Structure 1
Amino acid sequence: MNLLVDEGAHPRALLALEDGTHFFGRSAGAEGETFGEIVFNTSMVGYQEIVSDPSYAGQLVTLTYPQVGNYGINERDMQADELHLAGLVVHDLCYTPSNWQSVLSLPEFLSSRGVVAIEDVDTRALTLAIREGGAMRAALSTTDLDPESLVARVRASAPISQHNYVADVSCARSHVVGARTASNASERPLRVVAYDCGEKSGIVRRLAAAGCEVTVVPWDTPAADVLASAPDGVFFSNGPGDPQSVPAVVEAVRACLGKVPVFGICLGNQVISLAAGAHIEKLPYGHHGGNEPVMNLLTGKVEITAQNHNYGPVFSTFGPLVPELSDDVSEHPRDLRFWSQRRMAPVVMNKRYGRVRLTHVNLNDGTPEGIQFLDVPAFSLQYHPEAKPGPNDSAYAFAAFARLMRGEQDYLAIDVREGRRF
């Protein structure tokens, strides 16, 4: 318990889950109440980037690391101007941060932005409850402290899939971010149009650092307008919620595939998969954290990755395996770690776009983490190569996109040691 906190200044708070599980604690942010889907994040640092990530819209975020906020809030690490998460759950929050960049404590920051938060929660028990029950609806309140009442209200609340959170977090108008560098001084910047579905600022900075002039556009921008500008490539960003709630973005992907190089991250990977006719599944409790091991099947190298998603594509639904391009395997294995053991990147035949290759696999649960279209210029990743927070193992993805736009072969077969820092 934080002994420097005035107990009387922080009222009791209640966290309730739809399965009836509940936890009492103390308010650590704005007072009031909030409803959403509860998830846990296993990162040990980077709480500022986490709470400012637009992908958490509609979600109550539990941080599994027990002590949070010791280095405060700075002016550089924001991933969006506004906070969109539904609420924050921690075990022990620091009210007296110590860091030369700090301008505000985390609880002061949350309170000033209207984010309801709770501390003094047994986050180990809560994480186990989420692992057993899956990502559930939940509520956090400083006004309704009756567990029976709050649980009933949670059960009556709408699931996250019924709302288009992308529309809430996307930019209102387009804007341009200039290129920071180019791989060759004689080369002009690559012109990229980025669909903002909840794009983290770290992604735009990585694209700019890879030599791209980025025009960021709202999520519902017609693809005809984008293609009329003759970009070198189109990027589809991360974002919150169920990808099936944004059919307009899926249609934009279909309009772009085969006409211009395409790259997608997280939600971008999901809408690209939907455009190809693949199915999307909701994972039991998702991947949230900066320590997920992923193998690049093209190089055999393992990347420690930053992730934040509850949904993901089902690789077998892209199409049947092409045995001659898949180590003579004709039936889809149930666990995609089968391919990591063989150091093999299998290929399927997709009805719409021809050959599609599995490029990355999660080594924790065998789910797909990346795909590459072989007959149209496109690829996508389920995890966050820009990190923010997290390791930089996957930063090469932005260099890979630049290589794709320049027409280079084997653009994705980059060693993880390349491009870690721009």
Structure 2
Amino acid sequence: MNLLAQRHRHARALLALEDGSTFSGWCAGAEGETFGEIVFNTSMAGYQEIVSDPSYAGQIVTLTYPQVGNYGVCREVMQSGGLFLRGLVVHDMCHEPSNWTSEGSLPELLKQNGVVAIEGIDTRALTLKIRSAGAMRAAISTVDLDPESLVSRVATSLPISAHNFVPDVSTRQSYTVPAKGEKRFHVVALDCGEKRGIEQGLASVGCEVTVMPWDTPAARVLSESPDGVFFSNGPGDPEQVTQTAACAREVLGKVPVFGICLGNQLMSIAAGAQIQKLPFGHHGGNEPVMNLLTGKVEITAQNHNYGLVFESLGRLVPELSGGETEHHADLRFWSEKRIAPVVESERFGRVRLTHVNLNDGTPEGIQFLDIPAFSVQYHPEANPGPHDSAYLFEAFARLMKGREDYLAIDVREGRRF
């Protein structure tokens, strides 16, 4: 959009942060105002998958790529039945897309779903501010254009940790996703905000998936006699999602279990671990992660603000951790040593660190050694993002078949190049 030539067509808008910063721009979605936690996503494409990801509930998303919306939107790539993010911030919004798959524009989609958005923002400066100060409360308004007023209202708004967003995005009724091709397994998935790409990933390895609400009791889950149980991604603070964590605690050890993103955090809580909030989270499609079992590095899609504190799971087992007896805050220590360390948890025995983020040394995956279960913090389904980690759905299938080496898959398998 040429802002100088077309600014009269759109209402003025204001973005305010809790640190007192303000940015003026123009409305690029629904008019009105919205409050939420502001984060940034570094993906260069896939804006429709981003805005339709239920994990962004409660958040205002800044897209760092400068031009957004140029190929339009289409129903086929939606990751949920609606938009749950609080707001969207872009530099340059395309209002007249051109692509053979386009069924409409991104601004139209935002308006239809009541999502307030702003364009004309220096997203580079905004991203640097978030990186320095961390994710913070913010607001976008086309109503209150007084910087001092909007900043003061942001200061009194609730933090994201004050609300459990999972009930807002979870299915209310169970439903079934059929397997692609021959049915090999029956999996029950606890929907905390599950992306459609994850359902498709499970189905692609022969899983018929029964998707159940987030607060389904373990007894009800196990009454389905599943071959495995899956805990999905989702929004907000995992400490708020107590019912699902309780379900994980009861299910672990009874059937094979796999968790992604929020599911990883809930399985960790079930094992007695602590969760921490990251300064500005991981949001994008270019995060390097090493699989410590193979030494191979995956470029991954990620979307989370919280993560496991690995050392809180228990003390190291030296004989399974290269002789090491002390924990290291920066887990890149283990990637440099090519060691997958093991700790002894009180509830479920030995737990191995399997994946490490090479950007900041945070944990990205764990494997329970005494029960059939594993989880990752990132998104193997991508949508959007690279597909280096798609092997994890096959790993879950191998776990349900009883293979001990289910995670030791070379990420290069199946690649064309």
The two structures have a TM-score, normalised by structure 2, of 0.98
Q: Distance in 2 between matches of 1:153 and 1:137?
A: 10
Q: Which residue of 2 aligns with 1:87?
A: 87
Structure 2, gaps ≥5 residues long: none
| Superposition CA RMSD, Å | 1.1
1:384 maps to which of 369, 379, 390: 379
Contact 2:37–2:60, Cα closer than 8 Å, also in 1: yes
Q: How does 1:229-308 map to 2 (within 5 A)?
A: 229-308=224-303
CA shift for structure 1 position 334 = 1.9
Distance 1:208-1:419 versus aligned 2 partners, 3 A rule = farther
Contact 2:290–2:297, Cα closer than 8 Å, also in 1: yes
Q: Which residue of 1 aligns with 2:172?
A: 172
Q: Which residue of 2 aligns with 1:317?
A: 312
Q: Distance in 1 between matches of 2:195 and 2:415?
A: 18
Distance 1:420-1:166 versus aligned 2 partners, 3 A rule = farther
Q: Distance in 2 between matches of 1:258 and 1:250?
A: 14
Does 1:216 pair with 2:211?
yes
CA shift for structure 1 position 418 = 2.7
Contact 1:266–1:384, Cα closer than 8 Å, also in 2: yes
Q: Which residue of 2 aligns with 1:375?
A: 370
Structure 1, gaps ≥5 residues long: 183-187
Q: Which residue of 1 aligns with 2:119?
A: 119
CA shift for structure 1 position 8 = 1.9
Q: Which residue of 2 aligns with 1:49?
A: 49
Contact 2:71–2:98, Cα closer than 8 Å, also in 1: yes
1:6 partner SS: helix
Q: Distance in 2 between matches of 1:230 and 1:65?
A: 46
2:325 partner SS: coil
Contact 1:74–1:101, Cα closer than 8 Å, also in 2: yes
Kindly provide the amino acid, as one letter, of the partner of residue 93 in structure 2. L
Contact 2:238–2:266, Cα closer than 8 Å, also in 1: yes
Q: Distance in 2 between matches of 1:288 and 1:420?
A: 25
Alignment deviations for residues 370-398 of structure 1 (CA, whole Å, 9 cap, x no partner) = 00000000000000000000000000000
Distance 1:370-1:51 versus aligned 2 partners, 3 A rule = same
Q: Distance in 1 between matches of 2:348 and 2:142?
A: 52
Contact 1:291–1:304, Cα closer than 8 Å, also in 2: yes
Q: Distance in 2 between matches of 1:334 and 1:419?
A: 35
Q: How does 1:3-42 map to 2 (within 5 A)?
A: 6-42=6-42
Q: Distance in 2 between matches of 1:139 and 1:189?
A: 47
Greater CA drift, 107-116 or 29-38: 107-116
Q: Which residue of 1 aligns with 2:78?
A: 78
CA shift for structure 1 position 6 = 3.1
Contact 1:236–1:265, Cα closer than 8 Å, also in 2: yes
Q: Which residue of 2 aligns with 1:185?
A: none
Distance 1:214-1:5 versus aligned 2 partners, 3 A rule = farther
Distance 1:376-1:82 versus aligned 2 partners, 3 A rule = same
CA shift for structure 1 position 3 = 5.5
Kindly provide the amino acid, as one letter, of the partner of residue 105 in structure 1. S
Contact 2:87–2:117, Cα closer than 8 Å, also in 1: yes
Q: Which residue of 2 aligns with 1:156?
A: 156
Q: Distance in 2 between matches of 1:80 and 1:333?
A: 38
Does 1:350 pair with 2:342?
no
Q: Distance in 2 between matches of 1:115 and 1:334?
A: 39
Q: Distance in 1 between matches of 2:233 and 2:208?
A: 19
Distance 1:378-1:158 versus aligned 2 partners, 3 A rule = same
2:281 partner SS: strand
Does 1:59 pair with 2:54?
no
Contact 2:255–2:372, Cα closer than 8 Å, also in 1: yes
Kindly provide the amino acid, as one letter, of the partner of residue 203 in structure 1. I
Q: Distance in 2 between matches of 1:271 and 1:420?
A: 32
2:75 partner SS: coil
Kindly provide the amino acid, as one letter, of the partner of residue 74 in structure 1. C
Distance 1:419-1:272 versus aligned 2 partners, 3 A rule = farther
Q: How does 1:138-153 map to 2 (within 5 A)?
A: 138-153=138-153
Alignment deviations for residues 216-259 of structure 1 (CA, whole Å, 9 cap, x no partner) = 00001111011011100000000000000011011000110000
Contact 1:399–1:419, Cα closer than 8 Å, also in 2: no
Does 1:332 pair with 2:327?
yes
Alignment deviations for residues 335-372 of structure 1 (CA, whole Å, 9 cap, x no partner) = 10000001110000111100000000000000000000
Contact 2:54–2:194, Cα closer than 8 Å, also in 1: yes
Contact 1:295–1:303, Cα closer than 8 Å, also in 2: yes
Kindly provide the amino acid, as one letter, of the partner of residue 171 in structure 1. T
Distance 1:198-1:5 versus aligned 2 partners, 3 A rule = farther
2:393 maps to which of 391, 394, 398: 398
Superposition misfits of 4+ residues, deviation over 4 angstroms: none
